[in-house]
Amino acid sequence: MRAGAGRSITAPALATVELRNQGQPVIGRRIQVAGELGDPRFEIAQGLPRGHSARMGLRERENDGARGVFHDGVSISVNIYSILLKSIVSKQPPSEPNRAVHRLVQWIFEMAEMSRTMRTIGLIGGMSWESTAIYYKAINEETQRLLGGHHNARSIVLSLDFAEIEAHQAAGQWNEAAALLRDAAKTLVRAGASILLLCTNTMHKVASAVAEATDATFIHIADPTATEIRKHGIRTVGLLGTRYTMEEDFYRQRIERSGLTVLIPERQERDDVHAIIYDELCHGLIKDDSRTRYQAIVSSLATRGAEGVILGCTEIGMLPDSRYVNLPLFDTARLHAMAAVAESVRS
């Protein structure tokens, strides 16, 4: 893009930024840019990475200017116009770059890189569908928070029939259950997913089989959970979940690998936690007496030395009320969802 005589706006300006991918808008946001704006076409061009360009225009004229296209087919179009246009002046020296414009440039390309590289998240869900809905909502809320505008996550949900999975669990047929999950992973990857989430704690018993089924990035649910716990400086943590998750080693050992000590409830407490998950939460039933029971179990874990509690079943976050417990609660479904979004938008 050729440099030339500059123009500037001496009033505050509003910038509308739009990124398009193959003609479809994938990013849009309005931000305030205060102060003088030098010739936006020249200054934007100066701030672009090599091989990139942008379309610029001013409201008092038609939005002329060259439209630039990224090498991968993503193009960016920017319109800058004055809210209170008081004067248009010329010949702003190019040697005096305008800070506001360069802040805008930096923001544009941070957002452009996120959108250009946003990867598709594949969710192996339906275990149960109640928690899959929580995942879907959390993933899209976090993506919108990070990227703004009308953004949501690029995602694909494959919801399995939990009756089949639960029957295999009860019969100890973990290989058969793993085969269903492997097929689901392959289906999602064929559909375009490059990040995979297994939206259940219990079925991470067969996580390695799912992770090895494809070349997609597989995020183990215990890893972002352990990371968040360490951020709180906690060393000993309680674990609530299904009987399989609490009593078998596959989950606890993954957490303990991070240097944490894991406590599980007493036998009757474990029976109650498990029953409430399968008989109530998987059916969307939220009962006050069950909430009270969970809060009592959390208090019992605290008495035994727990400094926080893992909600190690993706439905459990529906139940405890953090206002009535005296320990930090780590909701694995939400932490798993946040980790997927971070991976999706990571440049």
Burial class of residue 127 in the structure, from the number of CB atoms within 10 Å of its CB (0-12 exposed, 13-18 middle, 19+ buried): buried
List the catalytic residue out of 199, 282, 313, 314. 313
Which pairs with CB-CB distance under 8 Å and at least 24 residues apart come from 225-229? 225/255, 225/310, 225/312, 225/330, 225/332, 225/335, 225/336, 226/254, 226/255, 226/257, 226/258, 226/260, 227/258, 228/330, 228/335, 229/255, 229/258, 229/260, 229/308, 229/310, 229/330
Residue 16 among the catalytic residues: no
Question: Got the DSSP string for 84-110?
Answer: S---EEE---TTS--HHHHHHHHHHHH
Amino acid identity for residue 127 in this structure? M
List the catalytic residue out of 132, 143, 199, 200. 200
CA distance 276 to 262: 21
Q: How many residues does the chain have?
A: 347
Residue 200 among the catalytic residues: yes
Which active-site residues does the annotation give? 200, 313
